[in-house]
Amino acid sequence: MTLTPDHAAVFSPPAAGGRFAAGEDPAKRQQILAGAKRVFMKMGFDAASMNDVTREAGVSKGTLYVYFTNKEELFSAMIEAERAAFVAAVRTALAEHDDPEAGLYEFGISFVTHMTDEKVISAMRTVLGVRDRMPVLCQRFFKGPVNLRTIMRDFLERHIAEGRLEIDDIDLAAGQFLDLASGSFFKLRLFGSMEEPPPRDEIERVIRGAIRVFMAAYGARRHETVRPHP
């Protein structure tokens, strides 16, 4: 899981003389988030400290606190940046396909590969571990204002409008494909029953099966009738 800049954040332009105002330099913010990610992934949320982050990110404590007031805020920003980057990548992948089956395949492979990656599983466990203290973080991480279900809904709506799919309950259909695609992989990885990510060929097998089931239920062709030849 590669950390990319949080494009959802809005930064003020540099002040006169080409310098950013305190706490508004996106490169410095990214430097801190990258260091924080390494610390949290290595030590976990509870064991990590702001001092650890300053050393790993190569910034002073004063600089760190200009950008993030505490460890909770820093952790939240790191998780949100990770989530936003993956969601943006998935949205781009879906937008590139006019064929719904090709789009679902691309989405499914990316989704399962990402969700079963060791770093992602570690982050998920960390988020669940602070759920009682930081319930809003968990809600944002697993739901968010823009999440996978939202993106899937947009994708399905486009293909419904273009006559390729016929779906009455779009939210239900979006959730069904996510469940079909993830299969048991995610739960097995999260709870430690599957120690390694599933092999690519097994992911492909599951995604192809998910697409067959989904298109059998929602593909526009299911309503076509065979008419006798005159």
The 3-class SS string of the chain reads: CCCCCCCCCCCCCCECCCECCCCCCHHHHHHHHHHHHHHHHHHCCCCCCHHHHHHHHCCCHHHHHHHCCCHHHHHHHHHHHHHHHHHHHHHHHHHCCCCHHHHHHHHHHHHHHHHCCHHHHHHHHHHHHCCCCCHHHHHHHHCCCCCHHHHHHHHHHHHHHCCCECCCCHHHHHHHHHHHHHCCHHHHHHCCCCCCCCCHHHHHHHHHHHHHHHHHHHEHHHHCCCCCCC
The one-digit pLDDT tens for each residue of the chain (230 residues) are 333 333 333 334 454 455 566 667 889 999 999 999 899 888 888 899 999 999 999 999 999 999 999 998 898 888 888 888 888 888 887 887 889 999 999 999 989 998 899 888 888 888 888 788 878 777 766 665 557 888 899 999 999 999 999 999 999 999 999 999 987 898 899 888 899 999 999 999 999 999 999 999 999 865 444 444 44
CA distance 228 to 225: 10
Q: Could you tell me which of 22, 27, 6 has the C-alpha nearest to residue 67?
A: 22
